[in-house]
């Protein structure tokens, strides 16, 4: 495998405790929120994609239907999803070749992150040659986030629901930033109010 290869990892194992319903299954754009995210990633230039499920995994797999048959996608089931996002990050990294160049982590509850933004971030990472890459609006960091393989050992030591946030703060000066013109792509669904706002944004 070429070391220039970048894997995409979709993190979608959470139990949506604030919502009280699996947000992965909420209807959106004639499918579901997670279905939209997966579709957007499939439209990008990422060639290798890992989808990490956990809570209600079998039900969510059924909702994705044809998308998960795509040869680009490998599905992993995180049995320890209650331990937080770090458990999903580590499960994915253990299944990804360590000699790949980097991993892009994509959140399963941000359906407005489209293939174009993913491609722009890939281009930013390669052009600016940072060890990290992420979109930013004014001073606010967004997602997805790309981590160079040099960070894999540290990512494997994370705990809880913070994912790679601690590493991002620690190595911010090593990051390649993609400037966003607005925050619209970063809308995240955590509550019913968020979901209703998301639907309003689509009108």
pLDDT in tens, 64-114: 978 888 889 999 999 999 888 899 999 999 999 888 999 999 999 999 999
Dihedral angle computed from the Cα positions of residues 110, 194, 183 and 81, in that order, rounded to the nearest 10 degrees: -30
Q: Phi and psi at residue 98, in whole multiples of 5°?
A: -65, -15
Topology (CATH level 3) of domain 6-201: Spore Coat Polysaccharide Biosynthesis Protein SpsA; Chain A (3.90.550)
Is 179 in contact with 136 (CB distance < 8 Å)? yes
Residue 3 or 127, more confident: 127
Domain layout of the chain by residue ranges: 6-201
Degrees, nearest 5: CA angle 27-145-30 = 15
pTM (2 d.p.) = 0.94
Listed ranges 57-61, 96-100, 160-164; the one with the highest mean pLDDT: 57-61
Closest CA to 111 of 197, 181, 185, 57: 185
- The rounded distance, in Å, linking the Cα atoms of 174 and 161 is 23
């Amino acid at each position: 495998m070429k070391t220039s290869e970048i894997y995409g990892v979709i993190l979608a194992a959470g139990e949506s405790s604030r919502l009280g319903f699996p947000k992965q299954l909420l209807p959106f754009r004639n499918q579901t929120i997670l279905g939209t995210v997966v579709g957007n990633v499939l439209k990008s230039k990422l060639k290798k994609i890992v989808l990490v499920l956990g809570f209600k995994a079998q039900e969510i797999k059924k909702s994705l239907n044809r998308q998960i048959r795509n040869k680009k996608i490998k599905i992993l089931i995180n049995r320890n999803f209650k331990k937080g996002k770090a458990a999903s990050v580590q499960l994915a990294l253990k299944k990804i070749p360590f000699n790949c160049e980097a991993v892009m982590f994509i959140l399963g509850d941000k359906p407005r992150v489209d293939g174009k933004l993913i491609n722009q971030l890939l281009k930013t990472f390669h052009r600016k040659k940072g060890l990290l890459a992420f979109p930013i609006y004014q001073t606010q960091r967004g997602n997805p986030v790309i981590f160079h393989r040099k960070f894999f050992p540290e990512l494997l030591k994370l705990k809880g629901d913070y994912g790679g946030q601690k590493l991002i703060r620690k190595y911010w000066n090593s990051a390649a930033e993609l400037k966003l013109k607005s925050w619209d792509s970063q809308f995240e669904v955590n509550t019913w109010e968020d979901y209703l706002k998301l639907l309003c944004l689509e009108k």
